[in-house]
A and B are shown apart, each in its own frame.
Chain A
Amino acid sequence: GAGVSQSPSNKVTEKGKDVELRCDPISGHTALYWYRQSLGQGLEFLIYFQGNSAPDKSGLPSDRFSAERTGGSVSTLTIQRTQQEDSAVYLCASTSTSSYNEQFFGPGTRLTVL
């Protein structure tokens, strides 16, 4: 079946602009995660959605970052007023209750802020 997909694959933007990154999880997966992978910080958790529960936003680095998940499926990560330190690969993952805690990752979006 189809895996986790993310779009765009690459995004180049200018400092101060807003960007939206999209994640399509595996069909039927109830949990969705966003992680950030950067040279300086490694792989870090950003936000977690589980069904209709309130998301765990504890990893979001600032109030410029937000995410939503519509209809329990597609998720959008929005970064407002981008800064150069936001440059990173943003990874999305999903999982189901039957997958024994294995998170299935998408290919990521490489964001470059000029």
Chain B
Amino acid sequence: AQTVTQSQPEMSVQEAETVTLSCTYDTSESNYYLFWYKQPPSRQMILVIRQEAYKQQNATENRFSVNFQKAAKSFSLKISDSQLGDTAMYFCAFMSWGAQKLVFGQGTRLTINP
């Protein structure tokens, strides 16, 4: 069974700083998807960024980028120029090719301070 580990339960940075959230996973599969979801206090889970395992290029979405290291089974999220609205729980998630269901990490609570 796949597992996802987020080793940082909480992080706190100042506004405009860059922050990196860590995620490692365990799988024997070669094709899969990885995601970062954001959950603000409103509870609504929102997709931040996704990565297909067969793509070597790291995904980027505006201020959000990932460092995908397939051999190391590592998938970290970098948030540049952090904003107060980035304050939320961040979940790393894994999906097998064709399996559809998400396997989540335990989450990292990120606080952006003014």
Contacts and interface: CB of A to CB of B under 8 A. Distances in A.
B95 interface: yes
Contact of A43 (B33, B42, B50, B91): B91
A35 B104 CA distance: 10
Given A50-B100, A105-B44, A42 B106 contact: yes
Interface stretch (A12-20, A61-69, A71-79, A96-104): A96-104
A26 interface: no
A107 B101 contact: no
Interface of A: 31, 33, 35, 42-45, 48, 50, 56, 59, 89, 91, 93, 100-103, 105-108, 110
Nearest to A31: B100
Interface in B59-101: 91, 95, 100-101
Interface residues of B, number: 20
Given A101-B95, A106-B44, 4 more contacts: A31-B100, A89-B43, A100-B50, A107-B43
A31 B35 CA distance: 18
B45 A105 contact: yes
Contacts of A35: 102
Interface in B18-55: 33, 35, 37, 42-47, 50
A104 to B, nearest CB: 8
A45 B101 contact: yes
B103 interface: yes
